[in-house]
Structure 1
Amino acid sequence: MRYGIQLPVQSQSTIYAEPWEADAGPADLVGIARAAESAGFDYIAGCDHVAVPRRLAAAMSTVWYDPVATLAFLAGVTERVRLLSHVAVIGLRHPLLTAKQYATLDHLSGGRLVLGVGAGHVREEFEVLGVDFEHRGAVLDESIDALRAALGPDEYPEHHGKLYDFEGLGQRPRPAQERVPVWVGGSSPAAVRRAALKADGWLPQGDPRDRLPAQMDRIRRLREEADVEGPFVMGAITEPLYVGTPGWDVGRRTLTGSPAALAESLRAYPAMGVDQIQVRFRCRSRTELTDQMAAFGAEVAPHL
């Protein structure tokens, strides 16, 4: 069972951001990334929004660090932890541009990239960049196909589709990995189907535990029916966690308790077929967060 974390600070939606993040910055991200690596986390992740319209800013905020720049920055201060875009809205950019950015990141990091992709949901972002919002699912489908070629081993990738057509254009450096893993994010029927047929893994969005088995069964069935082979990573986002007994209100949905109790609860995920969990900790400071991460890695994770 692998475990990873969506980095704080780099995205500050009111749904999950803690108050201390508002005044945090690069030094905090460095400390958290290093703590994740020390605690055995499989990956650190960053989100993607180009611009947030005023109508959504009160809920989403406008703090969304660029994932390529952020993950490249953190690649330079870590050695082993993988670098996940969760998720990159790849339909907003031409596949060759996306490939140039992420191939360079994979090359510079020594092959640590996991490319998480999603369809996006902010209409104004698409409109200002001249991308068809209504058909963003189809745009994403072809973008994945084009990126498979553009992130492959060939110096001169080739793709011929309805939206994108390229050949004879060289891009180096190539990714360090022979095949960059692509994980699809989202829990809609279209996203689940896309993950099953086009990806190497699935990143659910908001599925509670009781919904996951049916979703994963559908992925397995779709892959079997389409004769899609190869490794596939089933993911899950856990409830908020707090290792130990908190002395403050961490919210009723937060799982708290001894490491043994948390491990017993979290073992439900591998039991249902989940391969990796993304965890989030309630915390009042960077120090409390890194302490929680260390406790999880040392005392909870070994029992999963």
Structure 2
Amino acid sequence: MRLGINSPVVTAVPGVHSPWERTAGIEELGAVAEAADRLGFDHLTCSEHVAVPVEVAEQRGGTYWDPLATLGHLAARTRRIRLATQVLVLGYHHPLEIAKRYGTLDRVSGGRLVLGLGVGSLEEEFRLLGAAFEGRGSIADDAIAALRASLSRREPAYRGEHFAYEGFVVEPHAVQPRVPFWIGGRTPRSLRRALVHGDGWVPFGLPLERLREMLDAAPVPEGFEVVLSAGRPLDPSGDPEGTADRLRVVTEAGATLVGVSLGAESAGHYVEQLEALAKIADLGADGEARA
């Protein structure tokens, strides 16, 4: 088991974020990132929404920092921790747009990019951006295949159902020979998409019992990441036993990598919570939990 951080500040989902995050900025986020990097956590996340309808924001939140700008800044303040989009909506971008922008991020971070990718579900946002909502699953499958063929190449070439190109130079490009793809979703189809096209699966909004059933029905290969959320914000300083129990339950559900949110009263308190969580999990310098 490894532990990653569902980054504070960058989103404001009702019931998950803490009051201090409302007025926090890049310095507070940077301090959290530096501490997570120092303590051996696996990754930091940043989600993508361009514009959320007002009525939807009441449930999903309306604050979503841009992942490229945010992770680019955090790359300069950290040395080891991975930088994960969780997730980019494939339908909002041409594959070579992602290859260029996030390939550059992989270059400047020294090969620490993880691309979390999703099909998307917010129809109003698709319409706003001029992206096709109907048929988005097929478009996403083709985009993932195009990305895999292109992301780490100077002269990418691809021909598929929705995307076709050759004869272009994309420089800089990703330095990792194979950038990890984590596929988001909550359906058996999303898991199949991840097994076919990706290196990991990032489900959301499913009970752990259902996740265990889905994983048992589709055994995953060696090295495939199952990135499960620990759920409600944890309090490792105030409730170390409950925190340890929650990590154990999520791991037993099939997680190879647990994404955690932490309750805190300030950025400084958040760093203290990270330190307490690292002790509970007995994290090593490589990010592996010893406990």
Normalising by structure 1, we get a TM-score of 0.88
In 2, are the aligned partners of 1:82 and 1:113 still within 8 Å (CA)? yes
8 Å contact kept, 2:48–2:89: yes
Unaligned runs of 5+ in 1: 224-228, 246-256
The Cα shift of 1:63 comes to: 1.7
Deviation, structure 1 residue 161 = 1.5
* Number of positions where the alignment pairs a residue of Structure 1 with one of Structure 2: 284
SS in 2 for 1:242: coil
Q: Contact between 2:244 and 2:281, CA under 8 Å: does it hold in 1? A: yes
CA 1:54–1:265 in structure 2 vs 1: closer, same or farther (change >3 Å)?
A: closer
Moved more, 57-66 or 85-94: 57-66
Query: CA RMSD for the aligned pairs?
Result: 1.8
* Deviation (angstroms), 1:264: 4.3
Q: Deviations over 1:185-215 (max 9, x none)?
A: 1111221221121110011102232222212
Write the deviation string for residues 79-102 of structure 1: whole angstroms up to 9, x where unpaired: 000000001112211111111111
- Measured against aligned partners, the alpha-carbon deviations of 1:38-76 in whole angstroms (never above 9, x if no partner) come to 221100000000111223233334321110111011000
* Residue identity matched to 1:18: S
Matched, 1:163 2:162: yes
Distance in 1 separating the partners of 2:154 and 2:290: 44
Give the corresponding residue for 2:16: 16
Matches within 5 A, 1:207-218: 207-218=206-217
Higher relative contact order (CA 8 A, sep 6+): 2
Could you tell me which amino acid in structure 2 is paired with residue 85 of structure 1?
Answer: T
Which position in structure 2 is the counterpart of 1:70?
A: 70
What is the identity, as a one-letter code, of the residue corresponding to 1:53?
P
Q: Do the aligned residues in 2 keep the contact of 1:206 with 1:237 (CA within 8 Å)?
A: no
Structure 1 residues 167 and 129: alpha-carbon distance in aligned structure 2, compared to 1, 3 A threshold? same
| C-alpha distance 262-291 of structure 1, shift in aligned 2 (>3 A) | same
How far is 1:174 from its partner?
2.1
| 1:263 corresponds to 2:244 | yes
* Counterpart residue number, 2:259: 278
Q: CA deviation at 1:234?
A: 1.4
Contact preservation (8 Å) 1:192, 1:202: yes
Alpha carbons of structure 1 residues 244 and 73: separation in structure 2 relative to 1, 3 Å: closer
How far 1:272 moved relative to its partner?
4.5
- Check whether the contact 1:114–1:181 (CA below 8 A) recurs between aligned residues: yes
For residues 123-178 of structure 1, the C-alpha deviation after alignment (integer angstroms, 9 at most, x for no partner) is: 121112221112211111111011111213x3111111221111011111121101
Q: How does 1:43-122 map to 2 (within 5 A)?
A: 43-122=43-122
Runs of 4+ in structure 1 deviating by more than 6 angstroms, as ranges, are none
Gaps of 5+ in 2: 283-288
C-alpha change, 1:50 and 1:200, in structure 2 (3 Å) is same
Q: Which amino acid aligns with 1:290?
A: V
Distance 1:34 1:10 in 2: 15
Matched residue SS, 2:218 = helix
Q: Name the CA distance, whole Å, in 2 between partners of 1:273 and 1:128.
A: 37
The alignment's TM-score, normalised by the length of structure 2, stands at 0.92
Identity value in percent: 38
